[in-house]
Chain A
Amino acid sequence: MKLRADHVAGSAFILFGAGIIALSGDLPTGQLSMPGSGFLPKIVAALTILFGAVLVLRGGESPPFAELAWDDGKHALLVTAITSIAIGLYEHLGFFVTMLLMIVTLLLLIERRKPFYAIVYSLAIVGLTYVSFVYGLKTPLPEFSF
């Protein structure tokens, strides 16, 4: 049997639902006359498993998993990695430095733009945003705090 996209997606939802039920072990289900905090989560998790199973059963109609296009995967991975690092540094380096570094890195590393244009563009938009937020909208942004 060929592995299809909905087989993978449905299985993931079944695992997710099962995980929620496992995590809900210490939450009281209560009774119908006094439902506890685990009452609805368990019902919804069971429904997730049920719908996941339907997806797996009907999986034959979906495209083969191997044929899903992942040609944008490298772009997605790089953007995620750079954004993740920027989020980690945001409260330490502050808005200006972090965003400047993030945008320059995205433009140089992923988009292969000329360094001069990348730096000038990044400086301009980060500077403009900083001024707009701090002075225009009176909304303080994180400052450098190492």
Chain B
Amino acid sequence: MDSTFISLMHGFAIAFQPDNLWYAFLGCLVGTLVGVLPGIGPLSGISILLPVTFGLNATQAVIMLAGIYYGSQDGGSTTSILRRIPGEASSVMTCIDGNAMAKKGRAGAALCIAAVGSWVAGTFGVVMLTLVAPPLATIALKFGPPEYTAMLVLGLIFLAYMSSSSLVRTLLMACIGLLLGMIGIDNMTGHFRYSFDLAELGDGIGIVPVAVGLFGLGEILSTPSYTVVGEVITPKFRELLPNRQEWRESFWPIIRGSGLGFIIGIIPGSAHIISSFLSYALERRVSKHPEEFGKGAVAGVAGPESANNSASTGAFVPMLALGIPTGPITAVLIGALMVHGVNSGPQLVTEHPDVFWGFVASMYVGNLMLLALNLPLVGLFVTVLRIPYAYLYPLIIMFCIVGVYEVSHSVVDVYIMLIMGVLGYALKKFSFDPAPLVLGLVISPIFEQSLRQSLIMSNGDYTIFFMRPISLGLLIVSAIMLIMSAYTFMMKRRDWRATLAEVEAGEVQP
């Protein structure tokens, strides 16, 4: 514990350096804007701005990109409350009661509760990250290729289980991602695979063109400007503080949302989306007045907003301690660290303590910055929300092209982004969630290498995965997940995932 405290203090010394403070601030501001603007999610925001970090060192880069991630969780609530459009996916639940509060003249209070809840949850998440990640990394040092293989299998199956779309659809997307990740030179044999004599494909397909295409351009293709309408409610500055009753009603939902969000954040999947949904359902269940939900219940804003912020911090635990992404956003962040020559994983704490502890400490500071930013700048965000979408999306396309091109100065990458944009559009038409595809793409090289190494070290005996306790345990959990999914499917039972899918599609209230 003492060494954790000393390391954290060292992290604060790094985080408080003026340039690191500046990049944390910049990340939080850009992240909030990314969250505010409908159509740009944190994933496309981070992907587009990734090349901007190439001139920075690894600590500054990850501080800024993580600021964009957790800043976007905060910013999304502003759009949800003032326009009833989720600024980004995890704010779907905030739309319901946040906008209802705004229509009752409590927009300011809803924004303030969302901001305070986000700060409490974000800070709670970072405290837990500080306590959990280093010991977990120590345990992970004992992992060999079979354990990594089993863990990645568990990650994929967990993602499929937690996803709001069906198990088969999620696994199909993961398979496509895994196959895309196998394009290029095979690291173990040197064979060229599926590169069609294109030298640019020799290094494989990058995560940035795929992520920007699927989530940035794909969204634009399926959103004509005439479909984006919405009135913006402008809160008055003097109404920004909630009254005593509203503070009281938000206290326990914030506490519960923080705890629930962190636990779900550690689990692979679109944790921040699922956590806000589950928090909303939990709050309605424990409420003495469930009939108020949907009509402006304070707990319907406080719980989900706390949960999605805590989940976004929780997602950093497996990323930093194990080097395993729990979703496409942490996958891009791992990619960003790799660009700077830093591999996330168990060795990160020991080999790059400045990056690890500087990053953790910067999140304490960043969460405070967000609290200080969000309320005074509400006027600015309202102005941004008034920019017509017709003028906004050409700007986003420009950033998509520049962002992807700047990664490796290759037009082939930009064409890959365009193809992925069209694929993203088609996938949306057929109700596929592209997130598992990005995750599959990222884990593909690690998965293939650890699987082949495991088989080589056991001389082709596949029971190696069942002979080692950790990998056996992970595979048993995977099997339980599969059985539970199959049971739900065979019994034609509706569970919370079916309801989540309908809520995301805007069909029903939970």
Contacts and interface: CB of A to CB of B under 8 A. Distances in A.
A-B complex is real: yes
A33 B390 contact: no
A90 B172 contact: no
Given A13-B172, A48-B172, A138-B55, A133 B402 contact: yes
Contacts of A38: 193
Contact of A83 (B227, B391, B401): B401
A37 B55 contact: no
B168 A54 contact: yes
Interface residues of A, number: 66
A57 B338 CA distance: 42
A32 B225 contact: no
Contact of B193 (A41, A51, A103, A141): A41
B175 A48 contact: yes
B456 interface: yes
Contacts of B172: 13, 48, 51-52, 55
A99 to B, nearest CB: 5
A38 B194 CA distance: 11
Contact of B178 (A34, A44, A107): A44
Interface in B375-412: 390-391, 393-395, 397-399, 401-402, 405-406, 411
Interface string A106-140: 11001101000000011001100100010001110
B23 to A, nearest CB: 12
B224 A75 contact: yes
A45 B179 contact: yes
Contacts of A23: 194
A45 B194 CA distance: 13
A83 B168 contact: no
Contact of B391 (A39, A121, A133): A121
A107 B414 contact: no
Given A58-B168, A75-B224, A48 B179 contact: yes
A68 interface: yes
Contacts of B502: none
B171 interface: yes
B179 A76 contact: no
Contacts of A24: 193
A121 B395 CA distance: 10
Interface stretch (B79-87, B136-144, B200-208, B425-433): B425-433
Interface string B442-484: 0000011001100110011110000000000000000000000
Contact of B459 (A33, A40, A48, A54): A33
A72 B397 contact: no
B449 to A, nearest CB: 10
A37 B402 contact: no
B223 A72 contact: yes
Contacts of B422: 76, 80
Given A41-B182, A47-B175, A87 B398 contact: no
Interface string B144-175: 00000000000000000000000011011001
The 7 closest A-B CB pairs, nearest first, are A33-B460, A32-B460, A37-B186, A75-B224, A37-B191, A76-B221, A103-B394
11 contacts: A27-B193, A28-B191, A37-B189, A47-B171, A55-B169, A79-B220, A95-B402, A99-B401, A103-B398, A126-B398, A139-B406
Interface of A: 5-6, 8-9, 13, 16, 20, 23-24, 27-28, 31-41, 44-45, 47-48, 51-52, 54-55, 58, 62, 68, 70, 72, 75-76, 79-80, 83-84, 86-88, 90-91, 95, 99, 102-103, 106-107, 110-111, 113, 121-122, 125-126, 129, 133, 137-139, 141-142
